[in-house]
Amino acid sequence: MKFIVAKTPCQMAAKDIEYKYVNPCGLDCSYYTEGRLYCRFAVDANVTVVLTNNGHVPSSLAVILRTTDKIVWANEFEPIELTCLIESISTNNPRIEWKKIKNGVPSYVYFQNKIAGDLEHRAQLREPANILIFNTTRSDTAEYRCEVAAIDDQRDFDEILISLAVRVKPVVPRCSVPEAVTVGTSTELRCLENEGFPASQYRWFHNEEELPQDPKNSPKFVNSSYSINPDTGGLKFRRVRKEDAGEYYCQAKNDAGHAQCPPQMMEVYDVDILGIFLKSFAAVAVFFCLAASICHSFRRGCFHKKGHNENNYSWPAQNDGDYRDADEGHFRHKSSFVI
């Protein structure tokens, strides 16, 4: 692109350009560079005229970039375009680069006139220097820097920093609902999912009807004792009522969408005083029967053992051929014993 600078907005000699030109007065010139108002308009595809509002002829132009959005949100798996618009430049074929900066570490995503790095095969460069990502993923959340170097400009470099955040739809949350509780007791229902971005907000439904965050604001639930934490997904009952029985399910929601768990039934029972008494009586009866059985067994001697101090040893009977003296019990030689 060739740029020609005219001396005044409404005066331009034919020799300044090689084309006949209509007086440009009345054009909307609406951008500034270094405090001066400039007006650009194309004569043809290859020539652009730049006029100043004060007759000053700049010796050269500076490369100037801008973007339509410095903070961009996109839904996962949907396309998104990061804009890098060249407001002013006089260099033919400037060097354009895009870098992705994540956790403070830069990496090329457009370098030497081709898509590279994390965006390879998933993006393309669009005129003048925009990047179109075909299907964004959660890993694309980062800062992106568009850099343009123009060696023929007095200000030969400019850059634009764009922040991209990819919204991720929540997955089906994990719900925990007690199967049965007793009237007057406390209980808690839980709901959680960890995939959504931004973090999900939680809502609870009872018999297909959404529970209001504050039961006091609803005539139907004004006597309920529950509280909902939309950040953690907890539904707590301080004192369960019979009316709290029914089907419950939780919904996780963020800007990208929502998901919910299947309904689960919670039953509420009255306190069974007679049942508690009968169970306690049965336990006491079993205890006394067991104790009586043990005492009876002791009385019958089932657990009696002989003392270890009793001497049950008896001397063996003497035989006639014994060689002991009956009085002394000493050994005595026979007459046939010869030394």
Domain ranges (residues) in the chain: 64-167, 174-269
Q: What is the pLDDT of residue 75?
A: 95
Q: How many CB atoms neighbour CB 201 within 10 A?
A: 15
CATH of segment(s) 174-269: 2.60.40.10
CA 249 to chain centre: 21
User: Residues 293, 286: contact at Cβ < 8 Å?
Assistant: no
Q: What is the pLDDT of residue 324?
A: 44
Asked if domains 64-167 and 174-269 share a fold, the reply is yes
Per-residue pLDDT of the chain (339 residues; tens, 9 = 90+): 334 444 344 444 333 333 333 334 444 343 333 444 444 444 444 444 444 444 443 434 788 999 999 999 999 999 999 999 998 888 888 999 999 999 999 999 999 999 999 999 999 999 889 999 999 999 999 999 999 999 888 888 999 999 999 999 999 999 999 999 999 999 999 999 999 999 999 999 999 999 999 998 888 888 899 999 999 999 999 999 999 999 999 999 999 999 999 999 999 998 765 566 667 777 777 877 887 777 767 776 655 554 444 444 454 554 444 444 444 444 444 444 443
Q: What is the pLDDT of residue 292?
A: 75
Tell me which DSSP letter residue 133 carries. Answer: E
Q: What is the pLDDT of residue 155?
A: 86
165, with CB counted inside 10 A (0-12, 13-18, 19+), is middle
How many whole angstroms separate alpha carbon 65 and alpha carbon 96? 11
Q: How many CB atoms neighbour CB 183 within 10 A?
A: 14
State yes or no: cis peptide before 173, omega within 30 of 0.
no
Query: pTM (2 decimals)?
Result: 0.60
Q: What is the pLDDT of residue 303?
A: 52
Q: What is the pLDDT of residue 301?
A: 63
Specify the long-range contacts of residues 33-41, CB closer than 8 Å, at least 24 apart.
Answer: 33/61, 33/62, 33/64, 33/87, 33/88, 34/62, 38/88, 39/9, 40/88
Q: Which residues lie across from 174 on neighbouring strands?
A: 192
Q: What is the pLDDT of residue 339?
A: 36
**Class for the domain spanning 64-167:** mainly beta
